[in-house]
Amino acid sequence: MYKSGLSFVEVYSELEHSVLALDAVVLSKTTAFQQLDIVDSSLYGRSLVLDGSWQSSSRDEAHYHEALVHPAFLAYAAAHGAAGPSTVLILGGGEGATAREALRWPSVTKVVMVDIDGEVVEACKEHMPEFSAGAFDDPKVELVIGDALKYLADAGADANGPRFDVVISDLSDPIDDGPSQALFTREVFASVRGVLSPEGVYVLQAGQVSPFLEMHVHTYSTMKAVYPHVLGYSTDVASFRSHWGFMLGAFSDAYAPQATCLGRPAPFSPLFAASAIDTLLAGADLTDSLQLLDGEGMLSMVTHPKWLRTAYARATKVFSSSDAELASYTTTLDDENEPAAAQ
Amino acid sequence: MYKSGLSFVEVYSELEHSVLALDAVVLSKTTAFQQLDIVDSSLYGRSLVLDGSWQSSSRDEAHYHEALVHPAFLAYAAAHGAAGPSTVLILGGGEGATAREALRWPSVTKVVMVDIDGEVVEACKEHMPEFSAGAFDDPKVELVIGDALKYLADAGADANGPRFDVVISDLSDPIDDGPSQALFTREVFASVRGVLSPEGVYVLQAGQVSPFLEMHVHTYSTMKAVYPHVLGYSTDVASFRSHWGFMLGAFSDAYAPQATCLGRPAPFSPLFAASAIDTLLAGADLTDSLQLLDGEGMLSMVTHPKWLRTAYARATKVFSSSDAELASYTTTLDDENEPAAAQ
Amino acid sequence: MYKSGLSFVEVYSELEHSVLALDAVVLSKTTAFQQLDIVDSSLYGRSLVLDGSWQSSSRDEAHYHEALVHPAFLAYAAAHGAAGPSTVLILGGGEGATAREALRWPSVTKVVMVDIDGEVVEACKEHMPEFSAGAFDDPKVELVIGDALKYLADAGADANGPRFDVVISDLSDPIDDGPSQALFTREVFASVRGVLSPEGVYVLQAGQVSPFLEMHVHTYSTMKAVYPHVLGYSTDVASFRSHWGFMLGAFSDAYAPQATCLGRPAPFSPLFAASAIDTLLAGADLTDSLQLLDGEGMLSMVTHPKWLRTAYARATKVFSSSDAELASYTTTLDDENEPAAAQ
Amino acid sequence: MYKSGLSFVEVYSELEHSVLALDAVVLSKTTAFQQLDIVDSSLYGRSLVLDGSWQSSSRDEAHYHEALVHPAFLAYAAAHGAAGPSTVLILGGGEGATAREALRWPSVTKVVMVDIDGEVVEACKEHMPEFSAGAFDDPKVELVIGDALKYLADAGADANGPRFDVVISDLSDPIDDGPSQALFTREVFASVRGVLSPEGVYVLQAGQVSPFLEMHVHTYSTMKAVYPHVLGYSTDVASFRSHWGFMLGAFSDAYAPQATCLGRPAPFSPLFAASAIDTLLAGADLTDSLQLLDGEGMLSMVTHPKWLRTAYARATKVFSSSDAELASYTTTLDDENEPAAAQ
């Protein structure tokens, strides 16, 4: 039984939508780039919505942001026998929660965050301060309001420009006419190399794995066209009503496939060793402060059902900046979504 | 953008509902027990809906039914050094797909299926024959149209009654006024013991893990009140727009906690050993025929985010047949749903 | 095609609901009496919603409020050969638009408005000032924040209490658990007599005529049980997606049935004479300031399809304050809703 | 409170949609021309839906079809002092209910019905036989499956072709990509002249009057560009959740404006005389068989609120077959929708 009142309608496609009752609308405005809504609901808490697409909710944003940030940091730390990365670039991440998670690592000395929409950043600082938890006031954090693509091009072209141990892409999905539409392409993925330290790791939120995995597996094949070492992983984000995907990429063979508990080699292999992950987290004093991540939580993200590995193995599409179809991947079913007998 | 037309509305609670476009309504009738709809949609294929609650869809029912059936069979096989269980009892399972999966195992000699609603079984045989794939015609299968509770009571009370190596509960959630409302209780879980062989395994579909995990974790604490060895596991079922939970229970110490790749002991420990699972599946000639399950797929289901293990550890509620609140668990949030710092 | 975003869901019954995209939520709060929302939508403008039920919208509130106020004033003026009523009592009417329309008549010297929810009145003054258009600041207007029932009882019991030429009931429908639930009864209709001047007219908003007319026709039969002269009328209110009903009642035989252009006598017969109405409006200098009402507009409201007159003629239910069913009339279909062969 | 289950979603625009619970889906198919659904709902009975747009429902189709057919017949009868029209052309009208109403008149000797979609006609005959009530078997009825435009062109060009006393356009609205998109234009309205007897009357369903009247008033101005005598009228159709418009057009001065009870002359003036209409209906033995129409019911349809007459008076748009905007009129608001001070 559904009752009358203020609601949020999220239209996934012309074939499916959901309706969520709201307690309050904290802010609703059209910025220079997109529609921005901050809403409260009993089910998911305070939430950010951009162009009608759910971004993050207080109830479970920690799950999303931990999954986005810590695997890359852990992989970097394991590969270097060090405490973790020093320099971090965040593309997008307007809520400030990605920066918050990065700042948990004592090894971090610098976080640059590039977001195109300063109005979103300001609104989140005012109305969702617990998402950034002071990150915007941290002297290690440099906030750049600007185009992530331009930042990558300029910084990469500058021989003395900044280089980062971890680059985090926290951009909204390349759907519709939102500002992130052109950002999930071979060209963009390649341009990240220009700002990545040689042993660095690139991680991106990479679209839903379920119910519709096309965007995610095509992002995987696009990443594979650029990065020699790629690992997809995923976890559940309740407020998305989806299983959400992420992706690690690296050029350094420090991340090359090695033996895992699965009985098969895999890139970023330390992420499959639960006890070692627990040890790394303890070293960064992160044993008690995380909600999703510990050794077993990490393993739950990198192990996959057979159908997902089959889809990765079959994916061949490479998104290019000249690809006119970019807008429509989340809702189109194609053969690659079909389960298969063998990987 | 959502377009006009025949749709299916699933009201999750008074605060949330979803709307799905249908291609066709194959059957819509009120049986003696419930509302029965069989529908076609472009997104999820042919689907069974009972009392407005989505049961299974051709697009991904294999994921659900493999997750329901094979872990118990693998645990039994691993514990006994044998090819797998011989006798199987299915409570519910009207589509016939649970029986279909059970029959994949060469070790199986007898499957008894007890479903209260013969009209659902007949409708599925006629309109969704690929779900049962001939299972109802297999001489190993005995179909009993009747009350699962009564079957358990009668068979358990009969000293010469049947005993089963695996008992599978494939009953719909205990919500609303559906026929399964009284089936997720301590009393019912205990009554299964009467029909379980001493080394047998009981497995049940155990409600969503995400977005709302109350029902699932309370099922866990209820199972723990009866069974010494319990393991919760979960996987994504796209057409549910949920991460779905299952639960194994056993009395035999053959399933007692032992070392795993997680660095901590766990019940049903062989399910955490990916290579060994692959070997067992190969022994049952199941390497190529499954979509979700292999060694890594199994590991992906039994490894959990920290917040879920925390919720298991904190759960104390025990559902009883005298519990008047049974109807409301899937939509109520309480403290146990909150993430916690430590397990 | 419907797009994502902030929306208002109005659930008419468990069988029907509508969804409207919002531009903004101006205010959303729970008062001491009800849920109060003030919202903006492209389709209907700024709108007041109480307990999830649409009250009035800037786009067409003039239609509703003209229909509520002026017919009673015109009937009074026609009956008395005078310019119009002098004293007016408004029950409810929190937006202030009913008072605004009453104040258009030069004959009016006193308007008393009794609304139970001062928070609604304040919110409307602040966020919808064009609805009251200064009425709350008019020295002729006395605002009483209190229970309309109690006001009627107290004023009626006071032999020297106020008596009104026109009493206007602008209360929300007697549905659900809203504050107006007990106000559409024989007892309340009778209690109005205590404050009505002998030649006075009582008018009430009387529920939808279409698509579901039960509430309206039962209000008619309840009025007929108390008032010798009753006339139902109706007009379209776009933002309600309904044809909306009103009702006039009077004790004085000045309103007794007389000949009309219909070829049959009818109560409040001057309302059927378009030219005479135009003359009355001109006398009150209202020819140019109204949107809905003139002689023909009046005639359009008091003339009815045969099926509606049939329903009036057949209605026998009398709502009583002891009637436990009051809450459910807008959504229940019964035989009286069926068209009939003869009136 | 809205409950789970089979539903019909009607998306009015990207800003508004409604959801209706269904009891059953009787038929759902894609014809050569459109999506065809026949559904049952508790609220509205058996209903026909074409391309997601509600056409007619058993609960209130009599209201719609009486309003469509009888005013033109009454006007013809009044103008000729005769019992009524002899020959009738119906454009569209697949359910057969328009033919059924025409056949009520003893004066009728021939009804030609031209509908483009034979599958709709067959489906209605099979699944909604009470709509046609035997009309398709009546020897006076000739059913032509074909394009209405081509029929008009061919018949009009044939000097010996059929001429009709009444032409009824019962075509769906010119929205989206439905088969009727090109049919509400000056050219089509003009082409009707070729098949209209000199004293004949053309009547068309003319789109909703409320909540959005653009399509209706622009149809009015388009009709005025062709026909010297035009009258818009409207009535409530519950299952449309709209006030629905119709329009009469004629070339003969027999329909020229004359005095009415409104105190102003109007075209088709006999329709404003309730008693005379009752007399005409009695002459055709229709006093007892109709649900909506009698003298007062007729008057309720031709009398209008001031805002509607203002909109008629201001309308200037003329739809032409070359007009690319034809598809978007039902949902666009423009200045002509605004109420005005004077007509």
pLDDT for the residue C144: 98
C35 close to A (CB below 8 A): yes
Please report which confidence band the pLDDT of residue D234 belongs to, taking 50, 70 and 90 as the band edges.
Answer: very high
Q: How many interchain CB pairs under 8 A, B with D? A: 73
Mean pLDDT rounded to a whole number for chain A: 91
pLDDT tens across B51-91, in order?
A: 988 999 999 999 999 999 999 999 999 999 878 999 999 99
pLDDT of B325 strictly over 80: no
Q: Which domains does chain D have, with CATH numbers?
A: 7-57 (2.30.140.10), 61-337 (3.40.50.150)
SS3 D172: coil
C40 close to A (CB below 8 A): no
| Chain C: touching chains (3 or more CB pairs < 8 Å) | A, B, D
Q: Specify whether the CB–CB gap between B96 and B59 falls below 8 A.
A: no
pLDDT of A177 strictly over 50: no
The first and second tokens of residue C205, run together, are: 């908003």
Of these residues, B51, B60, B165, B170, which one is catalytic?
B170
Q: Specify whether the CB–CB gap between C201 and C121 falls below 8 A.
A: no
Mean pLDDT rounded to a whole number for chain D: 91
**Secondary structure in 3-state letters for C255-290:** HCCECCCCCCCECCHHHHCHHHHHHHHHHCCCCCCC
**Cβ partners under 8 Å of residue C335, min gap 6:** none
Of these residues, C115, C117, C165, C170, which one is catalytic?
C170
Q: In terms of DSSP bridges, do strands B196-210 and B229-237 run parallel, antiparallel, or are they unpaired?
A: unpaired
Residues 1-20, chain B: which have Cβ within 8 Å of C? 1-3
Of these residues, D170, D236, D278, D294, which one is catalytic?
D170
Q: Specify whether the CB–CB gap between D38 and B24 falls below 8 A.
A: no
- Burial of residue A158 (number of CB atoms within 10 Å: 0-12, 13-18, 19+): exposed
pLDDT for the residue D335: 38
Residue type, D28: S
Q: In terms of DSSP bridges, do strands D35-41 and D24-30 run parallel, antiparallel, or are they unpaired?
A: antiparallel
Q: Specify whether the CB–CB gap between D21 and C14 falls below 8 A.
A: yes
Tell me the CA distances in angstroms from D95 to A333, B242, D62, D137, D231, one per residue in order: 37, 43, 12, 13, 26
Instruction: Residue B324: count other Cβ atoms within 10 Å of its Cβ.
Output: 7
Please report which confidence band the pLDDT of residue A172 belongs to, taking 50, 70 and 90 as the band edges.
Answer: confident
pLDDT for the residue C81: 83
Residues 74-113, chain A: which have Cβ within 8 Å of B? none
Tell me the CA distances in angstroms from B124 to B33, B69, B133, C187, one per residue in order: 15, 19, 11, 57
CA–chain centroid gap for D54, Å, is 14
Q: Which residues of C touch D63 (CB under 8 A)?
A: 305, 307, 339
Asked if A19 lies within 8 A of C9 by C-beta distance, the reply is yes
Q: Where are the alpha helices (DSSP H) in chain C?
A: 61-80, 97-103, 118-127, 129-132, 148-157, 186-192, 214-224, 274-283, 295-302, 306-314
D24 close to C (CB below 8 A): no
| Chain B: touching chains (3 or more CB pairs < 8 Å) | A, C, D
pLDDT tens across C246-280, in order?
A: 999 999 999 999 999 999 999 999 999 999 999 99
Q: Which residues of C touch A35 (CB under 8 A)?
A: 5
pLDDT for the residue C218: 93
Residues 142-171, chain D: which have Cβ within 8 Å of A? none
CA distance B155 to D254: 88
Residue type, A145: I
Please report which confidence band the pLDDT of residue A181 belongs to, taking 50, 70 and 90 as the band edges.
Answer: low
- Name which of B17, B243, B297 is nearest A2 (Cβ-Cβ): B17
Q: Where are the alpha helices (DSSP H) in chain D?
A: 61-80, 97-103, 118-127, 129-132, 148-157, 186-193, 214-224, 274-283, 295-302, 306-314
pLDDT of B278 strictly over 90: yes
Burial profile C46-67: b = 16 or more Cβ within 10 angstroms, e = fewer: bbbbbbbbbbbbbbbbbbbbbb
Asked if D6 lies within 8 A of B19 by C-beta distance, the reply is no
pLDDT of A176 strictly over 60: no
pLDDT for the residue C323: 63
pLDDT tens across A40-80, in order?
A: 999 999 999 999 889 999 999 999 999 999 999 999 999 99
Q: Please measure the distance between the N-terminal and C-terminal CA atoms of chain C and give it in whole angstroms.
A: 43
Q: How far is C178 from chain A (nearest CA, A)?
A: 13
**Is C170 labeled as catalytic in the residue annotation?**
yes
Asked if A8 lies within 8 A of C7 by C-beta distance, the reply is yes
pLDDT of B304 strictly over 70: yes
The answer to which of A226-230, A244-248, D80-84 has the lowest mean pLDDT is D80-84
pLDDT tens across C34-57, in order?
A: 999 999 999 999 999 999 889 999
Tell me the CA distances in angstroms from A102 to A71, A111, A138, one per residue in order: 11, 8, 12
pLDDT tens across B203-256, in order?
A: 999 999 999 999 999 999 999 999 999 999 999 999 998 999 999 999 999 999
Q: How far is C302 from chain B (nearest CA, A)?
A: 36
Among the listed residues D312, D311, D338, the one whose alpha carbon sits nearest the alpha carbon of residue D224: D312
Residue appearing with tokens 């109706």: C234
pLDDT of D11 strictly over 80: yes
Percent of chain C with pLDDT over 90: 85
